[in-house]
Amino acid sequence: MTVPGRLAADVAAAVSTFGAAVAPRLASGAGEPEDQIRGPLENLLDTAAAALGVRFSAVGEASLADLRVRPDYATLVNDAITGYVEVKRPGRGADPTRWPAGSHDGIQWAKLRALPNVLYTDGQQWALYRTGERIGEIATLTGDIHTAGAALTASDEGLARLLSEFLLWQPVAPRSISQLVNSVAPLTRLLREEVTDTLTREQRVGDGPFSRVATDWRALLFPDADDAAFADQYAQAVTFALLLARTEDIEFAGKSVDAIARELGRTHSLLGKALSVLTDETIGVLTVTLDTLVRVIAVVDFGRFAHHRADPYLHLYEHFLAEYDPALRRLTGSYYTPAAVVSGMTRLTDEVLRTRLGRSAGLADPTVTIVDPAMGTGAYVLDVLETVADNARSEQGPGAVPAQLKDAAARIVGVEKQAGPFAVAELRVAEALHRHGAVAPAGGVRLYVADTLDNPFAEQARLAATLDPIAISRRYANKMKAEEPVVVVLGNPPYRERAKGQGGFIEDGAPNTAQWATPPLAAFREPGNGLAEYVLSNLYVYFWRWATWKVFDAHPDSGDGVICFITTSGYLKGPGFAGMRRYLRAHASEGWIIDGTPEGHQPDVNTRIFGGVQQPVAIGLFVRRSDNDPEVPAPVHYRALHGRQSEKFDALKAISVDEPDGWEDCPTGWTAPFLPAGGDEWAASPALEDLFPWQSPGVKPNRTWVYAPLPNTLIQRWRTLVTAPDDEKPDLFRESRDASLTRSKPGLPGFEHPAGPVANESGPCLPPVQVAYRSFDLQYVIPDDRVLSTPRTDLWRVRGEHQLYVTELHSEAIRPGPALTFAAHTPDMHHFKGSGGGRVLPLHASADRSRPNVAPGLLDLLAEHLDVEVGPEDLIAYVAAVTAHPGFAARFAEDLRTPGIRVPLTADPDVWSAAVTLGRRILWLHTRGERMADPSAGRPAGLPRIADESARPKVLTAVPDSPDGMPDELGYDPATRVLSVGEGRIGPVAPEVWAYEVSGMNVLRKWFGYRRATRPRTRGEQSPLDDIRPTSWPAAYTSDLLQLLEVLTLVTQAEPEQAELLERVMSGASITVADLTDAGVLPVPSDRRNLPRPTAASTTPEQILMPEA
């Protein structure tokens, strides 16, 4: 921009005056250096403003300096907020991007960068920033500010240009929703920070206006909201109320926020009153951000967005939340539901109402009340209205649409906890009614700001009448929840793991009532399921239970109803959801499952229903008829959507519940998975858990630093922990509920028991021992239960030199690779494939071989059928030969969509003998020669070796033994069959070894990932101790890699023989579930599913009492 001559001259003179005033102040040494330049700085800005022909004033924030978010000045030009000035001590500079993120200035910059017009200066340097971006160059004055005095000069027009840009700033009207979000979301985030800081300050003095507002807000809407939740609600409510005011063309010029709120309240009473309440007492405290926010939103013209798409508000909140707080978006599960999913679910619900419940008008039936309990921006509410409009238009003519919509709007209820999406939903519903020529029902549309999960029977506090527009929202929502029968619950509820304590009425019940004193969630529990039911502590489960309570339980005389949710799909098959499946089979008359992610966990992004969600999702649709018989399990039908996202959406459009093809029936067992029943061969084979009845999850430390590939690494980590200052130890340890610095534990069986908690330790750790960390990957752990959140003491109790562990992925579908893997050492929870959990089935229920973990009578029955002696090792060898290869997973791929391995048992003695011989070799390989050694059978003691020495992988080029040579990349050249480890080379390596996977986990890449230069990242479990690891490639890593390569080579070479064996098993006579049942082997006695407790006199494994197999 061109700088007017007068401005340049006046700024030059003002700089000289500024220098003359500042130098003696700085020389005096009185006070903080930055304080000495404030007064002269204001005079300089005032001079520049006068030259530009505008009125300038500065509002200092020094009195609130303890709130780190605030800049030093807010500047007003012609009485309107224009920008902010942040003053730094001379010599600090004006480039905040250089300051460390964790420093005071770095933290402040992370917040102030949200502002649209900020001037940074240390007196010597001057820089202008807008929403985090620097505008132009940094202007530097000539001469030293400490000594130049009146000789201080602006060397060019840079400072004059910068001050002109700063003082003449005007907000720019956004041209798109994305531009709107980019300007508003950072300010909303800053407003939230201000609220948080203000509450903290008020708590230090005991009271304040914000604390009082927060108290009222909680009493009105969310009694359990903490300060962080209130600050978030405050910031979003204010922002979206102001945006809503602009959609109503309310002008902001010359109006206070209270005046804007009153005008908004004429058409949107709840948000108008919310804006008034939230800013009434507090507006004077929040001038920094609120004034700027008002000014930015004042120029928004929503009419400009309508030309870009039919529904300009559709993506507003999703885009806002992604910019405002991506972590909050993930935490709350707030993801936009694709229109194809919404319309598909609405259409199927309408079809079920017509075909199963006799409501010929479907969603338009006047007796059908519909609730979306987590409405978000109103996608389902809108789609129900559009469905009613379309049906009315096609069945009765276009003239019938307005009346039908008015009637439907009185029967559709939307509940939303967050003010931001609620405002968008209210806006979209009003626009839809207007577009169809309909008017709202007499009582208004039934959209409420409330928490669906809170207790509808709780007494609501009496508050001032002026707060009624807000209080009435929660009151009406509670009246609906407590008293009004609901026929349809439809939606996409939020997902949040570890949500214990957030389920409200569903978790706690209503103690003040006789009928609902027992928490409704209890209906989803299965006797004996115990710890597996931790998965029920999830928001989406709470919403499933709220929906089933409301439709099936709360109004017994109502009879029928429909629930249709899209949620994560864990409940389809997870063992912790057994009670939920039993409940649904008992209380529904029929169900349909549409699996949106048959690919499993972390599918390719282009196949996901929700692009940002890696968990598998499914649509669940359940209907209850008035004649439902709870003693007969409801039939449940299943189908999966395959292909890319667009292909899945196309398939969903064509689905009908009465479509003859495409649906598969699920098993009818009360707690059986909601997945297709297996084929006859599969169903006739016994489950693995019936062969080895006692099982346990693997070790779960909840911190990664306790594992390492080398024992010395763990010794160093422990030494660092116990010698660290006390205030650093919690961060190093990564404390959790079940393992902390101050918690003592009884110790692991077979190991020394350190006395006292870790906080008291100063000496060495217990000697690390090997564990089966991942399939084919042995690492070390400190065998000290004080550092392990869930050590699985029973697994350690049965640890011994003859023990063998089977690991099975039973919580999700198996992908290509072996169906089971085996280990000689205690396995980690994620041993099988590095994620997804799994279960461990030990061969023995003792540390020696005296008590096999085998179904009682099974070995005798096998011996009788096969006319050969059968021991526990024979059985596990047979299982390994039949299941531990890709051919098994490929043959039973359809059956394995329902997790849980079944083992076909041959009745042919020759096939059995061949399988046992081959299986012993497989176990020898999986355990790296530690089990099943037999030199006479070609399985010598020690590490397995490839017989052909020329085929053995060898080091062709060593990995450099230096920090710079520490490798970060693992590669493979199929032409030369050479594996590259950074600069190192190993060969020959067969292509099938390089590609070897266990259910999607590439074994070599996974092994290398734990040893590469860049340490692996594991969400939420890591500590600075994890950074203690080798800085150069140890020789032990190379030795371990060579051993692994030989094992995988031999494993892959055995696969064709295993595949041929499986064909022999499947083509011959078999021992079936029916045979085992007739012989009394099945069902397995319940006492064999648990490891008996040790006697009181001793905790040694030898004194565990257990019947003989």
pLDDT digits (tens, 9 = 90+) for 417-465: 888 888 889 888 988 998 899 999 988 899 998 899 999 988 765 555 4
Q: Under a CB-based contact definition with an 8 Å cutoff, are residues 795 and 826 in contact?
A: yes
pLDDT, average across residues 343-353: 97
pLDDT, average across residues 729-753: 92
Least confident span in 34-43, 282-291, 598-607: 282-291
Question: What percent of the chain has a predicted confidence (pLDDT) above 90?
Answer: 63
- Summarised one tens digit per residue, pLDDT across range 846-896 is 999 999 999 999 999 999 999 999 999 999 999 999 999 999 999 998 888
pLDDT of residue 937: 95
pLDDT of residue 1103: 33
Least confident span in 420-429, 646-655, 1001-1010: 420-429
- Burial code of 771-805, b = ≥16 C-beta within 10 A, e = fewer? bbbbbbbbbbbbbbbbbbbbbbbbbbbbbeeebbb
pLDDT of residue 50: 92
pLDDT of residue 309: 52
Model confidence at 1109: pLDDT above 50: no
pLDDT of residue 3: 67
pLDDT of residue 894: 85
- Summarised one tens digit per residue, pLDDT across range 470-509 is 678 888 899 999 999 999 999 999 988 888 999 999 999 9
CA–CA separation, 492 and 341 (whole Å): 10
226 contacts: CB under 8 Å, gap ≥ 6:
none
Exposure of 1056 by Cβ count < 10 A (0-12 exposed, 13-18 middle, 19+ buried)?
exposed
Find how far residue 564's CA is from the centre of its chain: 22
Report which of 449, 478, 439, 409 is spatially closest to residue 270, judged by C-alpha positions.
Answer: 449
pLDDT of residue 642: 92
Q: Under a CB-based contact definition with an 8 Å cutoff, are residues 839 and 808 in contact?
A: yes
Helix and strand totals (H; E) in the chain? 35, 30
Model confidence at 172: pLDDT above 70: yes
Band (215; pLDDT cuts 50, 70, 90) = confident
Token pair recorded at residue 790 = 């869930």
pLDDT, average across residues 757-785: 96
Least confident span in 75-84, 216-225, 354-363: 216-225
Model confidence at 943: pLDDT above 80: yes
Question: What percent of the chain has a predicted confidence (pLDDT) above 70?
Answer: 93
- Summarised one tens digit per residue, pLDDT across range 595-624 is 999 887 778 889 999 887 888 999 999 999
728 contacts: CB under 8 Å, gap ≥ 6:
none
Residue 821 DSSP class: E
Report which of 700, 702, 719 is spatially closest to residue 838, judged by C-alpha positions.
Answer: 700
Least confident span in 197-211, 446-460, 514-528: 197-211
pLDDT of residue 310: 55
- Summarised one tens digit per residue, pLDDT across range 674-709 is 988 777 889 899 999 999 999 999 999 999 999 999
561 contacts: CB under 8 Å, gap ≥ 6:
486, 487, 488, 489, 551, 552, 623, 624
Model confidence at 214: pLDDT above 50: yes
pLDDT, average across residues 779-804: 96
pLDDT of residue 990: 97
pLDDT of residue 306: 60
Token pair recorded at residue 793 = 């003491």
Under the phi-then-psi rule, with left for phi > 0, alpha for psi from -120 to 50, and beta for the rest, what region is 780?
beta
Whether the bond into 725 is cis, omega within 30 of 0: no
- Summarised one tens digit per residue, pLDDT across range 704-713 is 999 999 999 9
58 or 1098: which leads in pLDDT: 58
Token pair recorded at residue 69 = 């978010």
CA–CA separation, 1046 and 938 (whole Å): 15
CA–CA separation, 373 and 198 (whole Å): 33
Strands 153-154 and 133-142, bridge-based pairing? antiparallel
pLDDT, average across residues 346-353: 98
pLDDT of residue 176: 83
Band (671; pLDDT cuts 50, 70, 90) = very high
The mean predicted confidence, pLDDT, of the chain is 89
pLDDT of residue 285: 53
Contacts 24+ apart (CB under 8 A), 462-471: 463/216, 463/219, 463/220, 466/273, 467/216, 467/220, 467/273, 467/277, 469/265, 469/269, 469/270, 469/272, 469/273, 470/220, 470/221, 470/270, 470/273, 470/274, 470/277, 471/220
Model confidence at 239: pLDDT above 60: yes
20 contacts: CB under 8 Å, gap ≥ 6:
149, 150, 152
Band (67; pLDDT cuts 50, 70, 90) = very low
- Measured over all CA atoms, what is the biggest interatomic distance in the chain, rounded to whole angstroms? 110
pLDDT of residue 370: 98
Band (1017; pLDDT cuts 50, 70, 90) = low
Least confident span in 50-59, 334-343, 363-372: 334-343
The structure's pTM equals: 0.73
Model confidence at 829: pLDDT above 70: yes
pLDDT of residue 287: 59
CA–CA separation, 997 and 1055 (whole Å): 13
Least confident span in 13-17, 352-356, 416-420: 416-420
835 or 777: which leads in pLDDT: 777
Band (247; pLDDT cuts 50, 70, 90) = confident
**Measuring CA to CA, how many Å separate 716 from each of 701, 708, 763, 766, 1079?**
18, 11, 12, 12, 56
Band (1063; pLDDT cuts 50, 70, 90) = very high
Q: Kindly list the structural domains of the chain, giving each domain's residue range(s) and its CATH number in brackets, ordered by start.
A: 5-167 (no CATH), 175-332+370-382+405-484 (no CATH), 488-675 (3.40.50), 707-944+1058-1089 (no CATH), 949-1056 (no CATH)
Band (216; pLDDT cuts 50, 70, 90) = confident
Q: What angle do CA 585, 590, 593 make, to 5 degrees?
A: 90
